[in-house]
Structure 1
Amino acid sequence: MRDRQVSRGARRAREFEAFVAGAAGRLLHTATLLTAEAPDANPRARRLLTPALAHTYARWERLRGEDPYDCARQYLATRFARATWHQYAGLGRARRPDPRSPLAALAPQERLVLVLRLHEGVAEEQTAVLLGLPAERVRTVCDRAVAGLLHPARPAAARGAGAKAAPW
């Protein structure tokens, strides 16, 4: 009995190590996009990824046919959303995005929806369920994020001294 438990534990560890070897890089990139940090300086993304991997390892035996990558990504996204909510509710320190990040101009919710939808390829309905939002809201946030990336707003000083800002 003891030998079987040891063998099963070793197999579990090998399977998880193989998963991490294949998925950790992409998950770290996803976390880096969410936190809007520079790819070469991403401590918040690493702190976001570590518990997601630990959560996935803890559930490893119970996944039973579920995708472990999906499990880790869901945990990563919900943890980011929760941390962002606490940050903006005054419970955490506000963090400015790194200007070297391609998504630095976006709000955290826009980054989250955009990363899930476009980078990770999660369907609109699944994103809505994961975030507890209506699908229409997910679509609107994603569209706004894409528009913000394609047509960034210029600061008032860059528009010129004689140009007036639009009244809306």
Structure 2
Amino acid sequence: MRSRHAFDDVRRAQEFRAYVAGAGGRLLHTATLLTAEPRDANPRAQRLLTLALARTYACWDRLHGEDPYDHTRRYLMIRFALSTLRYGGRLPFRPPPGGPLAGLSPQERLVLVMRLHEGIGEDQTAALLGLPAERVRAVQHRAMAVMLRPAPGSAPAQGARRRGAVMTGEAR
């Protein structure tokens, strides 16, 4: 009996390692966009992702066919939203100015990342955040207006194109 549990633990660890190897990069990019940190210096995003992955590993056996990526992503989004609610809609830190989404509020970043980067539907985003769909739509439009506004000192088309590439992970 003991060897069966040991085998199950080894199998579980191997499955989880394979999952993290495949999905970890995209999840880290999502967490980095949420925290508005630069790509190469993102300790808060790494901590957020570590918490989400720990939660996923803890309930790995109970997922029963549920997509682990969706589970981790959902917890990542909820954890970020709760951390901003704890501080009155603001983050307990000031995002560095070099971050691609630093000019947005935490709610705007959350909606924009969910809708555009992760491709989550408007109704599902609204349900996850506990907001009406109209509010999600308004927040998304407001965030897009900020993102499409040219950065000071840059050409309008280049600034909008650069920030749009950041959302898709194409910018380097």
- TM-score normalised by length of structure 1: 0.86
**Structure 1 vs Structure 2 CA RMSD:** 1.6
- TM-score normalised by length of structure 2: 0.84
One-letter amino acid matched to 2:101: L
- Which blocks of at least 5 consecutive residues in structure 1 are unaligned? 155-168
How far is the alpha carbon of 1:97 from its aligned partner? 1.5
Counterpart of 1:18 in structure 2 is 18
Counterpart of 1:160 in structure 2 is none
Tell me the distance in 1 between the aligned counterparts of 2:36 and 2:150. Answer: 16
Counterpart of 1:97 in structure 2 is 95
Q: After superposition, where does 1:1-168 map in structure 2 within 5 Å?
A: 1-88=1-88, 94-151=92-149
**Identical pairs, percent:** 65
Matched length? 152
Tell me the distance in 1 between the aligned counterparts of 2:150 and 2:106. Answer: 16
- Which blocks of at least 5 consecutive residues in structure 2 are unaligned? 153-172
1:67-105: CA deviation from partner (whole Å, max 9, x where unpaired): 101101111101100101112278xx7321111111111
Tell me the distance in 1 between the aligned counterparts of 2:49 and 2:89. Answer: 23
| Structure with bigger gyration radius | 1
Contact 1:88–1:94 under 8 Å retained in 2: no
How far is the alpha carbon of 1:113 from its aligned partner? 0.3
